[in-house]
Amino acid sequence: MALNYFARVFPEKTYWRNIMQLLEEKIKTDGIAVNEDILKVDSFINHKVDPFLMKEIGKDFAAHFADHGITKIVTIESSGIAPALTTAIEMGIPMVILKKQPSKVLNKNLYQTMVTSFTKGTSYELTLSAEQIDETDHVLIIDDFLANGEAATGAIRLLRKAHATVAGLGILIEKSFQPGRDKLKEQGIHVYSLARISKLAENYIEFIPEEV
């Protein structure tokens, strides 16, 4: 039923734009704009997950990066896991999760870097096992939000420590009024975002019409 709904409301001939429109509509109807920094999407992305939406997002990311020679999908726990997994399934390649805290069994052969979240005002040590990524990998990073770009930059630092290359960054929601995209473009990273917010305030969300 859900797939029939997508096909009916968003015709195939404008598929790539329609996924953007679909996500924007979901944000408008189910998201909560708390203030200029915080957009709550816990009812369909990062607490309760809409699996049909994630499936369509995975298809779109896979199509956009199809010719980039990607060998692995990487995401940061935990909000990026759902779209990263559906993208990995569509591309037929493994997904690797960067840990915010090393587990008791991940205690050697680790790459680590500190990441600070300006939105949350917290820092954490991002961790990657050296056994999961190597110099033969060309990696696509998937995450839920892009704001100041600190999380993505931390992920890139880890991948470069592993001597892997970065194919690009797939983002569900970008706060385009913050400097994350520019920081990543300065590093030569291709950023592809499905929903780009130009202005955010209490109970107000304004989008950039399409990827530019």
Q: Per the annotation, does 147 bind a ligand?
A: yes
Q: Per the annotation, does 175 bind a ligand?
A: yes
C-alpha 22/C-alpha 8 separation (Å) is 12
Q: Per the annotation, does 135 bind a ligand?
A: no
Three-state DSSP at 38 gives: coil
Decide if 161 contacts 167 (C-beta within 8 A): no
From the list 70, 67, 63, the residue with the least C-alpha distance to 167 is 70
Q: Per the annotation, does 46 bind a ligand?
A: yes
Lookup: tokens for 189: 């990273």
Q: How many helices (H) and strands (E) does the chain have?
A: 6, 10
Consecutive H or E run containing 191: strand 191-201
3-state secondary structure 55-97: HHHHHHHHHHCCCCCCCEEEEECCCCHHHHHHHHHHHCCCEEE
C-alpha 61/C-alpha 82 separation (Å) is 13
Q: Per the annotation, does 154 bind a ligand?
A: no
Q: Per the annotation, does 107 bind a ligand?
A: no
Kindly compute the dihedral angle of the four CA atoms of residues 32, 33, 37, 40, in this order, to the nearest 10 degrees: 10
Binding residues for 5-phospho-alpha-D-ribose 1-diphosphate: 147-151
Binding residues for xanthine: 39, 46, 175
Binding residues: 39, 46, 147-151, 175
